[in-house]
């Protein structure tokens, strides 16, 4: 039941905040903050019971489970479940949700009620995505998070917001349609084999089907999730959506929404179709590697700070794709680390850029430079997250990329070698970011207010998170170890079979 509460609290909180917002803007901010904090407290309380120590019951796959009938005729139920992977994603979502409310505190002045309604519904939708264990329910939540995001970009975005919002919507809708078709195909294939109509994840696992059929259905899921991730060549919606979205929108977009794509690959694409995924690995890894390099180059070519950070996201998600399809413990552990650490580092970068935009009303690096002098705390924070982004050892992102590359090295040496060049590319764009905004002469004579107390608190939260994940990532690794090991096992027999044939 507690899982239902996790989703309900932001839903209800959103409605309340929406109604209050028209009369009292400040109250609506506080309501949103309290709702998310309450949700986070609930989640932490529950998850810490299971992840408190290093060891926990390995016999149970799900820490918590909830099942209620919904549309029994079609075999659809409200089935929620929480394991190590979803625990971490839930915590990340709520953390960035709270940050997002904080980051919008002074930015969002118009229609604040409706803004917070949308924002909380996105959070609820994402939580649902991370918890759903019924494919129909999953699809339901998948759609729930898109519509409010569309409004968020379309209403509170920057100059070119309509174009970006429509583009975002079309990309995700089209890929969502593919996923729906794949879900239906899978359900019908399952019924043809077993005679039961069900959308339940645990029953659909291990469905027997012809390899060709499996490949096609898998492709539907794969495309839906890689559009979201996004992977090359499905990424063009992201720079526009990121750039035009308000700060909180960019934070949740980069921090959480992209992670639903990675989560989908880990939770559905690979476990439901292990053999098809295995034989598809070379293609997926290639796309991942191209994404890493291409997006690193694209990030360097941007002059708009938000576009730059958006492309770095694409590059980092390339590592995720590469890691998932390496199918070993190192790489998969690295993938989960990367999902969390990128959520923090990119979220923080968007927050900084948003805070900068509030002060100087431009995102164009051509109009900046030398801001370190006038806002040193800004500069230090920018430096920190630029270093996180380029994978400086000691911060979480390094552990993530290191593990992914160690894992992928065992799967493919050429792919890893090229992907490693992405580390050089990341250096180039990160330094370009610092040079453009903070170093060099202050030609325009900017004098801006340095980070205020609210912003410093939010930034500090990010910094602590990344340092902690960099020097002591073991709790995260422990939390996902069972999930990762079962994924690894799932894909292993296939290798043996391939070797035999």
CA distances from 473 to 256, 333, 399, 458 (A): 20, 10, 8, 21
Neighbour count for residue 349 (Cβ, 10 Å): 30
In the bound state with another protein, the residue whose beta carbon lies nearer, of 42 and 440, is 440
Confirm or reject binding of residue 180 to another protein (CB under 8 A): no
Q: Cβ contacts of residue 188 below 8 Å, gap of 6+?
A: none
H or E element in which residue 77 lies: strand 76-82
| Out of 205, 206, 448, 472, the residue judged to bind another protein by CB under 8 A | 472
441 near another protein, rule: CB under 8 A: yes
Q: Which stretch binds another protein (CB under 8 A): 34-42, 204-212, 343-351, 395-403?
A: 395-403
**To the nearest whole angstrom, how small is the minimum distance from the Cβ of residue 308 to another protein?**
11
* Measured distance CA(376)–CA(384) in Å, rounded: 12
What's the CA gap between 446 and 374, in Å, rounded? 7
In three-state secondary structure terms, 67 is: strand
In the complex, least distance from residue 387 CB atom to another protein, rounded to whole angstroms: 6
One of 193, 206, 366, 394 touching another protein (CB under 8 A): 394
Q: What are the tokens at 166?
A: 């429509």
Residue 403 lies near another protein (rule: CB under 8 A): yes
Give 29 or 161: the residue with its C-beta nearer to another protein: 161
Rounded CA gap, 22 and 16, in Å?
11
Q: Is 15 in the site for another protein (CB under 8 A)?
A: no
- Dist CA 294 CA 493 (whole Å): 34
87 scored as a contact of another protein (CB under 8 A): no
Under DSSP, the state recorded for 265 is: I
Using CB under 8 A as the binding criterion, the count of chain residues that bind another protein stands at 51
Residues 6+ apart with CB under 8 A from 26: none
Residues in 212-271 that interact with another protein by CB under 8 A: 232-233, 235-236, 239
Is 289 or 403 the residue whose CB approaches another protein more closely? 403
Complex with another protein: residue 181 or 428, whichever CB lies closer = 428
Q: Which residues bind another protein (CB under 8 A)?
A: 232-233, 235-236, 239, 297-298, 300-302, 329-330, 333, 370, 372-373, 376, 380, 383, 387, 392-394, 398-399, 402-403, 405-406, 409-410, 416-417, 420-421, 423-424, 427-428, 431, 435, 438-442, 471-474, 477
């Amino acid at each position: 039941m507690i899982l239902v509460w996790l989703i309900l609290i932001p839903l209800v909180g959103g409605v309340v905040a929406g109604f209050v917002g028209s009369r009292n803007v400040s109250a609506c901010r506080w309501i949103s903050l309290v709702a998310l904090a309450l949700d986070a407290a609930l989640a932490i309380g529950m998850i810490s019971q299971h992840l408190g120590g290093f060891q926990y019951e390995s016999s149970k796959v799900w820490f918590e489970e909830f099942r209620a009938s919904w549309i029994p005729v079609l075999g659809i139920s409200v089935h929620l479940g929480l394991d190590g992977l979803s625990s971490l994603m839930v915590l990340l979502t709520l953390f960035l949700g709270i940050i997002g409310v904080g980051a919008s505190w002074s930015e969002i002045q118009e229609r604040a009620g409706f803004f917070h309604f949308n924002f909380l519904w996105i959070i609820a939708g994402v939580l649902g995505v991370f918890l759903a264990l019924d494919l129909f329910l999953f699809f339901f939540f998948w759609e729930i998070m898109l519509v409010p995001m569309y409004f968020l970009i379309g209403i509170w975005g920057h100059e070119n917001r309509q174009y970006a919002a429509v583009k975002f919507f079309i990309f995700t809708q089209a890929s969502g349609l593919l996923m729906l078709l794949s879900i239906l195909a899978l359900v019908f294939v399952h019924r043809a084999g077993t005679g039961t109509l069900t959308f339940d994840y645990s029953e659909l696992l291990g469905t027997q089907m012809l390899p060709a059929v499996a490949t096609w259905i898998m492709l539907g899921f794969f495309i839906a999730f890689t559009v979201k991730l996004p992977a090359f060549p499905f990424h063009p919606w992201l720079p526009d959506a990121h750039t035009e979205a308000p700060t909180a929108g960019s934070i949740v977009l980069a921090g959480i929404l992209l992670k639903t794509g990675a989560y989908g690959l880990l939770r559905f694409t690979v476990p439901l179709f292990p053999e098809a995924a295995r034989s598809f690995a070379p293609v997926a890894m290639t796309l991942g590697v191209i994404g890493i390099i291409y997006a690193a180059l694209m990030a360097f070519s941007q002059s708009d700070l938000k576009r730059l950070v958006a492309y770095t996201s694409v590059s980092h998600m390339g590592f995720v794709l590469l890691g998932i399809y390496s199918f070993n413990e190192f790489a998969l552990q690295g993938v989960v680390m990367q999902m969390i650490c990128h959520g923090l580092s990119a979220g923080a970068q968007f927050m900084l850029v948003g805070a900068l935009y509030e002060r100087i009303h431009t995102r164009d690096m051509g109009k900046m430079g030398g801001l370190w002098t006038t806002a040193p705390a800004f500069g230090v924070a920018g430096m920190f997250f630029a270093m996180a982004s380029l994978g400086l050892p000691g911060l979480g992102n390094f552990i993530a990329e290191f593990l992914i590359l160690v894992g992928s090295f065992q799967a493919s040496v050429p792919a890893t070698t090229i992907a490693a060049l992405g580390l050089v590319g990341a250096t180039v764009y990160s330094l370009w970011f610092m040079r453009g905004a903070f170093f060099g002469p202050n030609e325009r004579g900017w004098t801006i207010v340095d980070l205020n107390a609210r912003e410093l608190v939010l930034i500090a939260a990010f910094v602590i998170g990344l340092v902690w994940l960099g020097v002591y990532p073991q709790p995260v690794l422990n939390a996902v170890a069972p999930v990762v090991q079962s994924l690894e096992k799932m894909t292993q027999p296939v290798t043996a079979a391939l070797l035999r044939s």
